[in-house]
Amino acid sequence: MISYPVSFVGLPIGNREDITRRALAVIEDADCVCCEDTRNTGRLLAHYGISKPLLSLHEHNERARCVEVAQRAAGGEKFAVVTDAGMPGVSDPGYRLVHELQKCGVDYTVLPGPCAVVTALVGSGLPCDAFYFGGFLPVKSGKRQRVLQNALQAGCTCIYYESPYRIAATLAELAALDPDARVCVARELTKLHETYHRGTAAELAADFAAHPHKGEMVLLINVAKTPRDEECN
Ligand code: SAM
């Protein structure tokens, strides 16, 4: 196995079996694991029978920690970088550290792993040939409506992370803009209660208004019929 000073490692988004043999080997081989929450990651690693020194790297200490990790890696320590779930850097810390490593000339690699965006896209049944990922939807209604308006004109599948506390309001806003838009809410992916809610914006707005569904969710929107749709007919 080629060994890098720093390895970014994708972790499960719910189902602990979704981890590669290489991910476990790289974490086992590291001198230190950088993670968002040392308690969460400590528990997960214990499940795999791994015990490692943990170093917190989260949005509040990211700037200083990235400099520290790059310097220590340049000095010969090996790091595995993980987040609480999924791929580092995707709506999670990672981007800044990649830049710092590039700046310092420290070699790194990325181990592919679970990611809620791609899992939801494939399961949604909406076209996967072209897609746009917009991260978390804005919390403020005015900004969110502008983002939703753009999604309705994008001409490809648009994907957003959304809070279970706002999803009903977001679907209502979307239905007001275009009741016939094709929508999917992918909920609790890879977990016991994994569910894909599929339908028009109006149908899903009515469903979520009547039943306050809980859990982690991804919102997918597509209005345009694409050549891939024709292939499936
Ligand atoms: N880095 C992660 C990834 O690669 O998917 C995303 C981290 S972001 C802080 C967390 C958000 O991702 C959640 O609020 C939710 O929108 C989405 N998410 C994470 N796990 C999920 C799951 N099992 N099912 C549905 N959505 C999930």
Within a domain: 67: yes
Closest listed residue to residue 209, CA positions, set 160, 182, 175, 161: 175
What is residue 229's predicted lDDT score, i.e. its pLDDT? 66
How far CA 16 is from CA of 70, 86, 110, 120, 233, in Å, comes to 29, 11, 19, 18, 37
| Contact between residue 93 and residue 83 where contact means Cβ atoms under 8 Å apart | yes
The answer on 215 and 169 residing in a single domain is: yes
pLDDT at 228 over 70: no
Q: Indicate the residue among 111, 132, 157 that finishes a domain.
A: 111
CA of 161 to the centre of ligand 1 (A): 7
Number of separate domains in the chain: 2
The answer on 122 and 158 residing in a single domain is: yes
Summarize the confidence of residues 177-196 as an average pLDDT: 98
Summarize the confidence of residues 72-93 as an average pLDDT: 97
| Contact between residue 220 and residue 184 where contact means Cβ atoms under 8 Å apart | yes
Within a domain: 105: yes
The answer on 139 and 102 residing in a single domain is: no
Residue 185 CA to its chain's centroid (Å): 14
Rounded to two decimals, what is the model's pTM?
Answer: 0.95
The answer on 131 and 106 residing in a single domain is: no
The answer on 135 and 104 residing in a single domain is: no
The answer on 148 and 100 residing in a single domain is: no
Closest listed residue to residue 55, CA positions, set 87, 30, 74, 76: 30
Within a domain: 95: yes
Within a domain: 197: yes
Summarize the confidence of residues 95-101 as an average pLDDT: 97
Taking the CA of residue 163 as reference, the ligand 1 atom at the shortest distance is: 14
Ligand 1 lined by 81 (C-beta under 6 Å): no
Ligand 1 lined by 85 (C-beta under 6 Å): yes
CATH number, residue 15: 3.40.1010.10
What is residue 227's predicted lDDT score, i.e. its pLDDT? 62
The answer on 87 and 192 residing in a single domain is: no
Of all residues in the chain, what percent carry a pLDDT higher than 70?
96
CA of 75 to the centre of ligand 1 (A): 34
The answer on 12 and 54 residing in a single domain is: yes
CA of 105 to the centre of ligand 1 (A): 31
Condensed to tens digits (0 to 9), the pLDDT of residues 103-115 reads: 999 999 999 999 9
Count of other CB atoms within 10 angstroms of residue 66: 23
Q: Indicate the residue among 93, 111, 129 that finishes a domain.
A: 111
Within a domain: 1: no
Condensed to tens digits (0 to 9), the pLDDT of residues 20-45 reads: 999 999 999 999 999 999 999 999 99
Ligand 1 lined by 4 (C-beta under 6 Å): no
What is residue 233's predicted lDDT score, i.e. its pLDDT? 61
Domain of residue 121, residue span? 116-232
pLDDT higher for 232 or 63?
A: 63
CA of 86 to the centre of ligand 1 (A): 7
Within a domain: 189: yes
How far is 155 from 112, CA to CA, in rounded Å? 28
The answer on 197 and 104 residing in a single domain is: no
The answer on 85 and 132 residing in a single domain is: no
The answer on 142 and 52 residing in a single domain is: no
Q: Indicate the residue among 79, 111, 143 that finishes a domain.
A: 111
Ligand 1 lined by 116 (C-beta under 6 Å): yes
CA of 104 to the centre of ligand 1 (A): 30
| Contact between residue 109 and residue 78 where contact means Cβ atoms under 8 Å apart | no
Ligand 1 lined by 37 (C-beta under 6 Å): no
Relative to beta strand 182-187, strand 195-200 is antiparallel
The answer on 132 and 94 residing in a single domain is: no
